[in-house]
Structure 1
C-alpha cells in the first residue's frame, strides 16, 4: 500500500517509517526540514518538506502522494512541558491536532484515501472519577483545570473528527524510551534522578505508560487492521504515581523521591499537575489486543524502565 505519514521524523514517526517499509509498503513522510526528509529517505521512504500548519502544503503533498492510508503523527513538543501552563506548552501541538487534522482528512478524501490513522493521547484526559482504569467507551474529563482546557478541547476535536471520517485514533499513554523526555538524557528522567520529581499528595493518580517502540508497532498494526474507532495504546500495568516514581528513581540511579502535600506542590506544578499526580485514571488496552491482535513488547513499565530507557 501507499502510506503517507505526516510527521515522519518525530518520536513515533521515525520508528514507524522503517516498520512499514520492511512490511513492503511504499512510504512518503513529511518533515519541516530538508535534513528531516533525508532521514526519511535513509529509512527507505520518500521524504517531503511540509510545514504541518500550512494547510495548502498539506493538500498538495497528499494529492501528489495519492496514498491508500494517511497516518497523522504531527506534534510540536520540542520546548518541553510546563505543568502550570499546559496550554501554552501545547499551543502548536493543539493547532496540529485541529487545523492539521482537518486539512489531512479533507485532503485524504479528495485524494481517495481509504484509511486514516491519527495519533492522540490517553492519561490525564480520562475522567478523574469512577473506575480506576478506563476503556475507550468512557468519557473524557469534563472539568479539566483552566490551564488544560484548550489542550483537552484539541484532543476531543481530533478524536471526533477522525472517527466521523471513519478513521482510527491511536491513543498513546505517556511515552518513554530513547529520545523521550522520559528516557536516557531526557528532562523528566534527569529530574527524577536528581530527586526533583516528588510524589504529590499520596501519589494516588494512576498512569498507563507506552514505550515509544510499542507506540510505533501498534500504529503499524492499525495501518492494516481494525475497525474505525478509538484504541488505547498502553501497557498492561496501570500504576499509581507513588508506585512508579520510586522504581524510576532507582532505575535512573537516584534516591527515593520526596513526598509533598498537594498544597505545597500546587504553586510548583499548578492545579493540572496536582490532579495528574493525585486523581488521574489509567487506561485499558483490552480493545487493541482483541481487535488488532497487538501486544506490547514491554508489558509493564517495570521492565521498560529497567531495560528500555536508552538506545
Structure 2
C-alpha cells in the first residue's frame, strides 16, 4: 500500500515509518519539518518526506487536499486532537482512502468502573484532552458504521521509549524523582501508592498501527487499546526503578495536599491527572483480532527511556543504570 503518515517524526511515527517501509509499503512521512525522528533508521531513506503543519493546514482547510495529492491508499493520523480537525479530514478523504487509522488515548475512558477496562466499556472522560479524544472516537466509529470512510481508533497508554521523558512512578516528569531513586533516597508518594499507570513502548503502539493497516477487515469500525501486557502501581513501579540502581525501595506516603506542597503545583497536577484515573486496560481484543504481541513490559519500556535520559540529558544528572 501507499500510506500517508501525519505526524511522522513523533513518538509513534519514529517507529512506525521504518516498520511500514520494511514491510514493503510506500510511505509518505508528513511532519512540520522542524525536527527529525527520535531514532535513526536507514529505512527513513526510503520514505518520502513532506512538510505539513496541521494547525496551519486545518485553518486553511487544505489538510485533506494535501494528503490526497500524494494518492494514498491509507492514512495514519497521529496529530489530531479535536473533533473539528477530525471532521475536516474525514470529509475530505471520504471515498478516496481505504482506511483512516487515528491515534486516540486511554484517557478517553475517564475513571474506570471495572478492571481491566475493555474498549467497549461506558466512557465518561474528563479534561479537555480526554473529552476531545472520546468525541473523535465516536465520530470516526459512527463514520465507519454508516458506510463512510473506514476508520479505526488506537488508544495508547503512557508512551515510553528512548528520546523523551517518561511518566515516572509518581505520575509526572519531574527529573528529581529519578535522581532521588538513583541515589537510593526516600521518595515521597501521594496517597497509599496503589494507583496504577499503564505504560506502553512506542514501538508496540507502532506495531498495532501496522497490524490495523494490514488487516482493515478486522480493524475498520473498531477501537483498540495500545498498552503493555500489565499496568504498574506506584509502589510496584518505584520498587522496580530503585532496583535499576541496586537499591531497596524507600517510599513515604503523604496526603495529596502535602505532596503538592512539596513538588509544586505543576508536577502535582500532572501526577493527579495520571494517578486519579488509575487505569488498567485490557489487550484481549487487540491480541485476538489483530494478533498484537507486545514486545515490552511497562517496566522495560520505562527503563529504556530512563537509560536514554541518563546517557543523553544533563538535566537528569543520573548515573548509568545497573
Q: Decide: shared fold, TM above 0.5.
A: yes
Answer yes or no: is the 8 Å Cα contact 1:59–1:103 preserved in 2. yes
Alpha-carbon RMSD across the aligned residues, in angstroms, is: 3.0
Answer yes or no: is the 8 Å Cα contact 2:154–2:224 preserved in 1. yes
1:182 correspondence with 2:137? no
Q: Tell me how far 1:310 sits from its aligned partner.
A: 4.4
Equivalent positions of 1:63-142 (< 5 A) are 63-74=68-79, 96-109=81-94, 112-122=96-106, 124-142=107-125
> Partner residue of 1:83?
none
Say how many residue pairs are matched: 280
Determine the C-alpha separation between the residues in 2 that align with 1:252 and 1:119: 35
SS in 2 for 1:223: helix
Determine the C-alpha separation between the residues in 1 that align with 2:98 and 2:260: 46
* Counterparts in 2 of 1:218 and 1:176: CA distance versus 1, 3 Å: same
Answer yes or no: is the 8 Å Cα contact 1:11–1:212 preserved in 2. yes
What is the TM-score of this pair, normalised by structure 1? 0.79
Structure 2 unaligned blocks of 5 or more = 145-150, 182-186, 309-322
Q: Tell me how far 1:51 sits from its aligned partner.
A: 0.7
Counterpart among 197, 206, 211 of residue 216 in structure 1: 206
SS in 2 for 1:116: strand
Measured against aligned partners, the alpha-carbon deviations of 1:4-32 in whole angstroms (never above 9, x if no partner) come to 11101111112111111111111112111
Answer yes or no: is the 8 Å Cα contact 1:128–1:279 preserved in 2. yes
1:157 correspondence with 2:123? no
SS in 1 for 2:102: strand
What is the TM-score of this pair, normalised by structure 2? 0.76
Q: Tell me how far 1:106 sits from its aligned partner.
A: 2.1
Measured against aligned partners, the alpha-carbon deviations of 1:238-273 in whole angstroms (never above 9, x if no partner) come to 222221133234436787454321232345355673
> Partner residue of 2:312?
none
> Partner residue of 2:256?
262
Greater gyration radius: 2
> Partner residue of 1:25?
25
SS in 2 for 1:66: coil
